[in-house]
Amino acid sequence: MIVNCVAYRDGERLADLMEEEISDYLEKPDCFVWVALCDATAQELELMKKEFHLHELAVEDARHGHQRPKIEEYGESLFVVMHLLEQVKGELRLGEMNVFVGHNYVLSVRSHSQRHFVAVRERCEREPHLLRHGSGFVLYALMDAVVDRYFPLMDQLESELEEIEEQIFSKNAARSNIERLYELKRKVMLLKHAVAPLMEASGKLFGNRGPEVCARGREYFRDVHDHLSRINASIDTIRDTIGTAIQVNLSMVAIEESEVNKKLAAWAGIFAVVTAFVGIWGMNFKSMPELQWEYGYPLALAVIGVTSLVMYRRFRHAGWL
Amino acid sequence: MIVNCVAYRDGERLADLMEEEISDYLEKPDCFVWVALCDATAQELELMKKEFHLHELAVEDARHGHQRPKIEEYGESLFVVMHLLEQVKGELRLGEMNVFVGHNYVLSVRSHSQRHFVAVRERCEREPHLLRHGSGFVLYALMDAVVDRYFPLMDQLESELEEIEEQIFSKNAARSNIERLYELKRKVMLLKHAVAPLMEASGKLFGNRGPEVCARGREYFRDVHDHLSRINASIDTIRDTIGTAIQVNLSMVAIEESEVNKKLAAWAGIFAVVTAFVGIWGMNFKSMPELQWEYGYPLALAVIGVTSLVMYRRFRHAGWL
Amino acid sequence: MIVNCVAYRDGERLADLMEEEISDYLEKPDCFVWVALCDATAQELELMKKEFHLHELAVEDARHGHQRPKIEEYGESLFVVMHLLEQVKGELRLGEMNVFVGHNYVLSVRSHSQRHFVAVRERCEREPHLLRHGSGFVLYALMDAVVDRYFPLMDQLESELEEIEEQIFSKNAARSNIERLYELKRKVMLLKHAVAPLMEASGKLFGNRGPEVCARGREYFRDVHDHLSRINASIDTIRDTIGTAIQVNLSMVAIEESEVNKKLAAWAGIFAVVTAFVGIWGMNFKSMPELQWEYGYPLALAVIGVTSLVMYRRFRHAGWL
Amino acid sequence: MIVNCVAYRDGERLADLMEEEISDYLEKPDCFVWVALCDATAQELELMKKEFHLHELAVEDARHGHQRPKIEEYGESLFVVMHLLEQVKGELRLGEMNVFVGHNYVLSVRSHSQRHFVAVRERCEREPHLLRHGSGFVLYALMDAVVDRYFPLMDQLESELEEIEEQIFSKNAARSNIERLYELKRKVMLLKHAVAPLMEASGKLFGNRGPEVCARGREYFRDVHDHLSRINASIDTIRDTIGTAIQVNLSMVAIEESEVNKKLAAWAGIFAVVTAFVGIWGMNFKSMPELQWEYGYPLALAVIGVTSLVMYRRFRHAGWL
Amino acid sequence: MIVNCVAYRDGERLADLMEEEISDYLEKPDCFVWVALCDATAQELELMKKEFHLHELAVEDARHGHQRPKIEEYGESLFVVMHLLEQVKGELRLGEMNVFVGHNYVLSVRSHSQRHFVAVRERCEREPHLLRHGSGFVLYALMDAVVDRYFPLMDQLESELEEIEEQIFSKNAARSNIERLYELKRKVMLLKHAVAPLMEASGKLFGNRGPEVCARGREYFRDVHDHLSRINASIDTIRDTIGTAIQVNLSMVAIEESEVNKKLAAWAGIFAVVTAFVGIWGMNFKSMPELQWEYGYPLALAVIGVTSLVMYRRFRHAGWL
C-alpha cells in the first residue's frame, strides 16, 4: 500500500505524485522523491524497482523480510533494514522497516507494524533548512524515529528487571522469578538483535569514507549511532544482570531449602527423642519400677516436655528454628 | 562419479563434454567448463587435477575430506570447502562440497550427501544474462544453494528449542529437557561449524581486494555473506538460550525439590506429632487416669485429629502443602 | 544557574564577565572564557549555544542528560560527557558533567550533583604556567577532577568486597552475603558505565591525530586515560571476583546443607535403632522370656544405650557428627 | 645426541657430514645442511651455535626448554618451537621440537620425546622437486609432521568425550563422569597450548610479508596453518562441550537426587500412616471397642494394607515411585 | 634511600658518583648514569627530577605508587612501572619497581619490596659487550630480572592448584578445597595484574616503531615479552582450571550429598519396615493368635531380621548402601 509519494525541492514540498510521475521528477535537478510504502505487495515493489532502478538483491530482501538490520551500499545508493519492535499485549512483535536511498529518492517500506511514521515527514517538512540537505536527511530522520522507539522499550525492560530484583530475595518467589527472568531475557535478545547489527552498520555512515548520500550531515548519523550505542550498552547490562539474577535466584532456592532442611532436622530430632522416651516406657518388661510410681506418668510427661524444650531452645539458638 | 560435464559460452550451454575434451574447451576464449563430481574417486580427482592444473594441496584436501569450511586462493584460482548438513532420521549427517574455480572452469565435488545440486545448474541456465558473468557466478550459485539449505535446518533447531522452552517450567520434565537441550546443542555446534568459518572466509570475496574470479558480482557474494551472518547470529542466540535454559532447568529442579522437601517436612511433622501422642498413650504407667475414662479413646482420637488438622492448615497457609 | 564566568589571558584571570560580555572576549586574541553552569535551564543552554555557537545536537544531549560518557568532535570543538557518582546514604547517585570546549572557551555544565568543582578553577589559577596552554588544559583539569573522584568510590567498593569475603566461609551468612554481592555488583556496574566508555573515548585525545584543542598537553590526557585504565582494570577484577564469590557462596550453601544432611542422617539412624529396640520389647508376644528377667529393663536400657553410643562414635569418626 | 647431519644440493643428498665439516658446506652455493639433534646437551648446542651463528637467546630457549610454541625471526633466520604430545600409559607427555632455519641450514632439536622424525627426512628425499625449494621446505615438512601427530590425539580426545557423553544420562555414573571430564579437560588444555600459539605464529609465515626463508612455498605453510585451525576449532568445541557436560552432569545429579527424595518422601509417607495406625491400636485406653472384636486384628491389618496400597498407587501415579 | 649511583662508559664502570656529580656525567658523550633508589622519599625524587629533567607526571606516579604496570614515553625517555610480588608467610605482597630511562641515564626506584636487584648490576658489569649498548640494555636487564621472579611464583601457584586437584575427588574435602581455590584465585589475579598490562606494554618495545632507547637490542625486549606471554598463558590456564575446579567441587558436593541421601533413604526404609512390624505386634487387639504361639516371638524376630536383610541386599545391589 502506498502511504505517501511526494517530490521535494530545496527542502520544500513540491507536489504529491502519482506513481507514474515519479520518473519525471527524478530527472529534475535538486529534486528528490520520497515514497512511503506499507506492507508492500510484490507488484508494488516491482514497480518501485523499475522506477528507481533498485538492485534486485535489495528488492528481494525487502520482499522476503526477516532480514537482520543492515546497511548495504549498491553503487551510490543505500539499502537500510531496521527492526520495528512493538509491545502488543505483553508480547514483543517484530516488524521491519526497509529504506532505499539514492541521491534523489527515498523509498521506505514498512512491514508488520501498526505504528506509522507520518510524524517523520511532518518533522522534516517543519525543518526545511535541514530537509534541504536532501535524501540523506530523510534517511537520518527515519533512522532517528526508529531508534527513538527503542528507548521506551528499553526503559520497560529495565523496570521489569527492577520489579524482579525486588522479589529476588523474598521467599517463595523463586518459581515466578525464574519464569519472568527467562521471558525477560527473550525480549532483551529481540531488542539486542534489532540494535547491535544496526549500531555496527551505522558506524560506517559518519566516517570520512562513508557513503556520498550521508555526506552532508555526518554529525546527525553519529548521533543516531550514539543513541544505538547507549541502548546497546544498557542491553548488555540487562543481560549481564539477568545472568547474575538467575544465579542469585538459584542461590536463594538453595539457601531457602537449607533453611527448610534445618527446620526439618530440628523437629525430627525433637520428636525422635520424644518417641524414644515414650517407646521406652511402652516396653513390656515386668519389672520397670517407675511405671508403678504414683506420679510416674506426669513425671514422664515432664521429662519429655523439658527435654523437648531444651532441645527447642538449642536449635533456636543455633538458628535452625 | 561424474554427474555432469558441460561447456558454456556467453551464458549459453555449448556442449556436453567427455572428460578428454575438457582441455580443448579450456583453451577457447570466453568459454568455461563446469564439471560436477559426486563422491569422486582418487582416480577421478587425479584426472581433474591434470585437466585443470589444480594445486596438489587442494586436491589432497578434497580427497581426504573432513576439512573446515574455507576459501583458499591458489594463484588466480579458488578452492572452496563447504559443509552439507542433512537431517536423516533425526540425526544430522555431515557431507562436504568442494568447489575448484578458475576463470575458465568450475569443478564441484560433492561427498557424503544424498541431495544433488542439479537445480543450481538449471537455475544458471535459466538466467543466461547472469551466467554470462562466467565461472564466478556459478560459484555464487553453488554457495547460495548450499547456504539456502542451512535455513530450514536452523528453523528446525529453533522450533526444537521452542518446544523445549514450553516444557521448561512444567513439572517432571527436567530429565527429558536436559537430554534434549544437550542433543540440540550438539546439532547447533555442527551447524555453527558449517557456518562460522564460511562466513568469515566469504567476507573476503566482496571487498575491493577480493579475488579476480569474483570481481563481476560482488553484490552477490555479499548477499551470501549476509545470509551466513544472519544464520550465524541466530545460532549464537540459540546457543546462548540453550545455556540459559540449562541453568533455568537446573533452577527448576532445585525449586521442585525444595517444594517436595517442604511437603515432606510438613507431613513428617504432622505424623511425628501423631506418633508422639499415640506413643504417650501407649506407655505402661500404672496410673494414667485418662486411659480409664469412658470416652478417653474417642477423645484421644479427637485430640490427635484436631492437632493434625490445625498443623495441616498452618502448613497449607505457609505454602508448604 | 551560572556558577562562574571568567575570561583568562596568558594563564591569568582577566575579568569576571556578565553573560552578555562573553562574545566580546571571545574575539580577543590569546584569550579564552571559562563558564561553569550548574543544573542549567533550557534558557541558559540556549543562551550559551548562541554565545559559543555550539552544535544543536550537543546542546540537545546536554539538555536531555542521561547520556553515556563520550567525547565528540564537532568541527574544531569538543563535547565531553562524564558521569559524576556520589554516594548518598549508601546509594550511588548519578550526576552528569558536560563540557563544551573550543579553542577560546570552556563551558562546563554540571547536573544532579551536589559536589561543586570550584577547586578545579582554583588549581588552574594557581598554575598559570599550565593554564597558559589554554582551554585544553582546563578540559584536562576538569577530567582529572572527575576521574579522581572515582578512586575513593572504587576503594569503597573494594573494601565492601573484602568485608563480604571475610564472611563468605563463615556459617549462616549465605543469605546476607548473596544480597550484599548483588547490591555490590549493581554499584560496580554503575561505576563501570562511568569509566569504560570514557576510557575508550579519552584514548583518542592523546594520539598524534587527536583534536587540535588537546595538542599542547598530550601527556596530561594520557595521564587521565591511564587513571581510567587503572580503575577499569580494578572494576573488572571486582566483577570477576563477585562472580566467583557468588559461585563460592552457592558452594558453601551446598556444603553446609550436606553437613546438616549428614547430621540429620546420623541422628535419624541412631534413633531409628532405639525405636526398633523399644518397639521390639513393646510387642505383646506371650512368651518373651527377657521381659520376665529381673534385670531385663536396665539391661535393655543398657543395650540401647551402648548401641547408640557405638553408633554415635562411628558417625563422629566418619565426620558426620 | 646427533641423529643425522647431511648436506643437500638441488634436492639431492650430497653427503653425510661430520660436525666439523658443516661450516665448509655452508659456504657452498645452492647447498644446505640439515642437522637433527635429539635431547641435545649444552655442549652440542654450543657447537651448533658456533657452526650456524645462532642467536644466543634462541639457543638459550632451546637449552631451557618449557617454551610456548612460537616462531621468532632473528634477522633472516627463524627459530621455531613446537610441542610434541605423546600418549604414554593414558598420560599425555609433553616433548619439544626446536627448529633453527636459515637460508642454508636446518637444525632440529627434539627433546623429551620417544618418537623420532626420520620419516620426514625420507619423505623429503623422496620428493627432490620439492626439497629443491631449500631449507624452507624442510621446515614445512617438519611442521607438517608435528601437526599431523596432533590429529590422532584429537580424535582420541573426541572419542573419550563421546564415551562420557553416552554415560552422562545414565544413573549412578555422575562421579566417574565428572572425574573423566576433568581429566579430559586437562588433556585438552595441553593440546590447546600446543596448537593455539603455533596457529597464531604460523599465520605470519604465508602472508606477503612473511620471512624470506618461507617465500617459495607459501601454500604449504598455509596448509599447515589450516590444519592447525582445524584442530584448534575442534579443541574449542571439545572445551565448550566439556563445560556443558559438567553442567549437565550436575543437573543429572540434582534430578536423580530429586527422584530419590520423592521416593524417600513417598515411602516415608506410607510408613508414617502405618505407624500412626498401629500406634493408635497400641494405645492402652480401657475402652477401645474394636480391640475386643473377634476379627478386629485382621480388619486392622486390612485397613492398614488398603490404605498403604491406595497411597502407593497415588504416589505411583504422581511419578514419585 | 640511594642504593647506588654509578657512571658507565663503553660498558665499563667509570665512577661511583655523589648525587651532585650526576649532571656533570650526563653531559659527557657515550656515558650514562645508573642510579638505584629504594623506597625513595619525596625529596630524593624531587632531586632526581631536577638532575634528569624527569616529567612531572611520571615523578608523581612514582611518588604515589599503586600504579598499573605500564611503559610510557615522555619525549625520548621512557617511564616503566612494574609490579614486584613477594611471598611473605603465605601472603603475596605487592611492591613496585619504577624505572626512568633516557639515552644517558637509568633511574630505578624500588618500593615496598625486600629483595634487592644488586645482582642485575653485577650481571651487567659482567657483560660489558652488552652493557655497551647503553641504558636500553640496563632497562632490559631490570625487566628481565623482574619477570624472572614471576616464574617461581607461577610454579608455586601451579603446584598449589595440583595439590587441590588431588583432593578434589576425595570425600569431605569440599570445604577446604573451595577455600583454597578462592585464595588461589586471589593470588592468581594479583599475578595477572602484574603480568598482563606489562606484556601488552612491552609488545611495543621491539617493533620497528619502538622507542629509540630500545633500538639496539630489540631481540632482548622480545625475549622479555615472550616470557611474559608464557606466564600470561599459564595464568589464564590456571584461572580457567580454577573455574572448572570450583564447578567440579560443587558437583562433588552434590554427588556426595546424593549418596548420603540414598543411604539415609535406604536405612530409613529398612527401619520403617521394622517399626511397622513391631508396631503391629504391639497392638492390643484381643485376638491376635500369633502372640500366643510358643515360638511367636523368635519367629517375629526372624521375620523382621529376614525382611531387613532382604531389603539391605536390594539396596546394596542398587548401589544405595
**CA geometry: angle at C46 spanning C40 and C48, to 5°?**
75
Q: What amino acid occupies position B37?
A: L
For residue E73, the surrounding DSSP H or E stretch is strand E70-74
Most confident stretch, B130-134, B235-239, E267-271: B235-239
**Beta strands, E only, chain A:** 2-9, 12-16, 31-38, 70-74, 77-88, 91-102, 105-111
Q: Would you state the pLDDT for residue C175?
A: 92
D286 φ/ψ angles, rounded to the nearest 5 degrees: -65, -45
Q: Does the CB of A262 have a partner CB in chain B at under 8 Å?
A: no
Band (pLDDT 50/70/90 cuts) for residue A102 is very high
Would the CB atoms of B283 and A284 count as touching at under 8 Å? Answer: no
Q: How far apart are CA D120 and CA D177, in angstroms?
A: 39
Q: Does the CB of B258 have a partner CB in chain D at under 8 Å?
A: no
Would the CB atoms of C268 and E263 count as touching at under 8 Å? Answer: no
The complex's ipTM works out to 0.87
Looking at the complex, report in whole angstroms how far the Cα of residue D121 sits from the nearest Cα belonging to chain E.
31
Domain parsing of chain C, residue ranges: 1-131, 254-318
Question: Can you tell me the mean pLDDT for E250-274?
Answer: 89
Q: Does the CB of A321 have a partner CB in chain B at under 8 Å?
A: no
Q: Would you state the pLDDT for residue C40?
A: 93
Q: Would you state the pLDDT for residue A90?
A: 80
Q: Is C74 exposed, middle or buried (0-12, 13-18, 19+ CB in 10 A)?
A: middle
What single DSSP character describes residue A11? Answer: T
Question: Can you tell me the mean pLDDT for A188-199?
Answer: 95
Band (pLDDT 50/70/90 cuts) for residue B172 is confident
Kindly list the distances between the CA atom of residue A253 and the CA atoms of A174, A267, C261, E234, in Å, as whole numbers in the listed order. Answer: 7, 21, 16, 36
CATH superfamily of C254-318: Magnesium transport protein CorA, transmembrane region (1.20.58.340)
Residues from chain B that touch A283, judged by Cβ atoms under 8 A, are 284
**pLDDT per residue over E154-210, tens digit each?**
999 999 999 999 999 988 889 999 999 999 999 999 999 999 999 999 998 987 778
Q: How far apart are CA B182 and CA D275, in angstroms?
A: 44
Nearest to E271 among C169, C257, C276 (CB): C276
Greatest Cα pair distance, chain B, in angstroms, is 122
Q: Indicate the Cα dihedral angle E31, E37, E43, E47, nearest 10°.
A: 0
Residues from chain B that touch D285, judged by Cβ atoms under 8 A, are 281, 290-291, 293, 296-297, 300
Question: Can you tell me the mean pLDDT for A267-295?
Answer: 90
B103 φ/ψ angles, rounded to the nearest 5 degrees: -65, -20
Would the CB atoms of E292 and C286 count as touching at under 8 Å? Answer: yes
Band (pLDDT 50/70/90 cuts) for residue E302 is very high
**CA geometry: angle at B142 spanning B141 and B145, to 5°?**
85
Q: Would you state the pLDDT for residue B238?
A: 95
- Contact between C170 and A319 under an 8 Å Cβ cutoff? The reply is no
Nearest to D287 among B178, B243, B296 (CB): B296
Question: Can you tell me the mean pLDDT for E53-57?
Answer: 93
Q: How far apart are CA C161 and CA A86, in angstroms?
A: 41
How are beta strands A77-88 and A2-9 bridged, if at all? unpaired
User: Given a cut of 90, is residue A172 above it in pLDDT?
Assistant: no
Which chain D residue has the Cα nearest residue B294? D287
Residues 194-223 of E with CB under 8 A from D: 219-220, 222-223
Q: What amino acid occupies position E146?
A: V
Q: Indicate the Cα dihedral angle E310, E311, E313, E318, nearest 10°.
A: 140
Which chain B residue has the Cα nearest residue D162? B186
SS3 for E3?
Answer: strand
Task: Compare D209 and E77 and report the one with higher pLDDT.
Answer: E77
**pLDDT per residue over C250-282, tens digit each?**
999 999 988 888 888 888 889 889 999 999 999
Would the CB atoms of D244 and B246 count as touching at under 8 Å? Answer: yes
**β-pair partners for E82:** E97
Would the CB atoms of D261 and B257 count as touching at under 8 Å? Answer: yes
Q: Would you state the pLDDT for residue C317?
A: 92
Looking at the complex, report in whole angstroms how far the Cα of residue A290 sits from the nearest Cα belonging to chain C.
11
User: Given a cut of 90, is residue D263 above it in pLDDT?
Assistant: no
Which chain D residue has the Cα nearest residue B274? D276
Name residue, grid cell 506371650.
C286
Residues from chain C that touch E279, judged by Cβ atoms under 8 A, are 279
Q: Does the CB of B182 have a partner CB in chain D at under 8 Å?
A: yes
Q: List the strands of the sheet with D70-74, edge to edge.
A: D12-16, D2-9, D31-38, D105-111, D91-102, D77-88, D70-74
Rounded to the nearest integer, the mean pLDDT of chain A is 92
Q: How far apart are CA A252 and CA A256, in angstroms?
A: 6
What is the percentage of chain C residues whose pLDDT exceeds 70?
100
Q: Does the CB of A268 have a partner CB in chain B at under 8 Å?
A: yes
- Contact between A102 and A135 under an 8 Å Cβ cutoff? The reply is yes
Q: Does the CB of D260 have a partner CB in chain B at under 8 Å?
A: no
- For chain B, which chains pass the contact test of at least 3 CB pairs under 8 Å? A, D
Q: Indicate the Cα dihedral angle C60, C62, C63, C67, nearest 10°.
A: 90
Q: List the strands of the sheet with B70-74, edge to edge.
A: B12-16, B2-9, B31-38, B105-111, B91-102, B77-88, B70-74
- Contact between D140 and D123 under an 8 Å Cβ cutoff? The reply is no
Question: Can you tell me the mean pLDDT for C284-304?
Answer: 91
Q: Would you state the pLDDT for residue D20?
A: 83
Band (pLDDT 50/70/90 cuts) for residue E306 is very high
Rounded to the nearest integer, the mean pLDDT of chain B is 92
Q: Would you state the pLDDT for residue D218?
A: 87
Q: Would you state the pLDDT for residue E164?
A: 95
User: Given a cut of 80, is residue A208 above it in pLDDT?
Assistant: no
Contacts 24+ apart (CB under 8 A), E294-297: E294/C287, E295/C287, E296/C285, E296/C286, E296/C287, E297/C283, E297/C285, E297/C287, E297/C288
Band (pLDDT 50/70/90 cuts) for residue B255 is very high
Q: What amino acid occupies position E11?
A: G
What is the percentage of chain A residues whose pLDDT exceeds 70?
100
Q: What amino acid occupies position B5?
A: C
Q: Would you state the pLDDT for residue D32?
A: 92
Band (pLDDT 50/70/90 cuts) for residue B20 is confident
Would the CB atoms of C193 and A287 count as touching at under 8 Å? Answer: no
**pLDDT per residue over E132-160, tens digit each?**
888 999 999 999 999 999 999 999 999 99
Which one of D155, D167, D262, D285 makes the best mutation probe of the B interface by having the most chain B beta carbons within 10 Å? D285
* C-alpha cell at position A315: 536449635
User: Given a cut of 80, is residue C80 above it in pLDDT?
Assistant: yes
Nearest to E249 by CA among E162, E167, E168: E168
**pLDDT per residue over B269-286, tens digit each?**
898 899 999 999 999 998
**pLDDT per residue over D192-222, tens digit each?**
999 999 999 999 898 777 888 888 888 899 9
Q: How far apart are CA B142 and CA B145, in angstroms?
A: 5
**pLDDT per residue over B80-126, tens digit each?**
999 999 988 888 999 999 999 999 999 999 999 988 999 999 999 99
Rounded to the nearest integer, the mean pLDDT of chain D is 92
Out of 3.30.460.20, 2.30.110.10, 3.30.70.141, 3.60.15.10, the CATH code matching C1-131 is 3.30.460.20
What single DSSP character describes residue B319? Answer: T
Name residue, grid cell 625520548.
E76
Q: Would you state the pLDDT for residue A123?
A: 92
Q: Would you state the pLDDT for residue E30?
A: 84
Would the CB atoms of D294 and E275 count as touching at under 8 Å? Answer: no
CB contacts < 8 A (B, D) = 128
Kindly list the distances between the CA atom of residue A76 and the CA atoms of A79, A103, C213, in Å, as whole numbers in the listed order. Answer: 10, 8, 35
**pLDDT per residue over A214-259, tens digit each?**
888 888 999 999 999 999 999 999 999 999 999 999 999 999 988 8
- For chain E, which chains pass the contact test of at least 3 CB pairs under 8 Å? C, D
Q: How far apart are CA A55 and CA A32, in angstroms?
A: 19
User: Given a cut of 90, is residue C90 above it in pLDDT?
Assistant: no
Nearest to B130 by CA among B118, B141, B114: B141
CB atoms within 10 A of CB A145: 16
Question: Can you tell me the mean pLDDT for E242-265?
Answer: 91
Distance of CA A260 to the CA centre of its chain: 36
Which chain A residue has the Cα nearest residue C69? A230
Question: Can you tell me the mean pLDDT for B162-186?
Answer: 92
Rounded to the nearest integer, the mean pLDDT of chain E is 92
* C-alpha cell at position E116: 634487592
Would the CB atoms of A240 and C189 count as touching at under 8 Å? Answer: yes
Looking at the complex, report in whole angstroms how far the Cα of residue E126 sits from the nearest Cα belonging to chain C.
37
Residues from chain A that touch B280, judged by Cβ atoms under 8 A, are 278, 301, 304
Question: Can you tell me the mean pLDDT for D119-123?
Answer: 92
User: Given a cut of 90, is residue D178 above it in pLDDT?
Assistant: yes
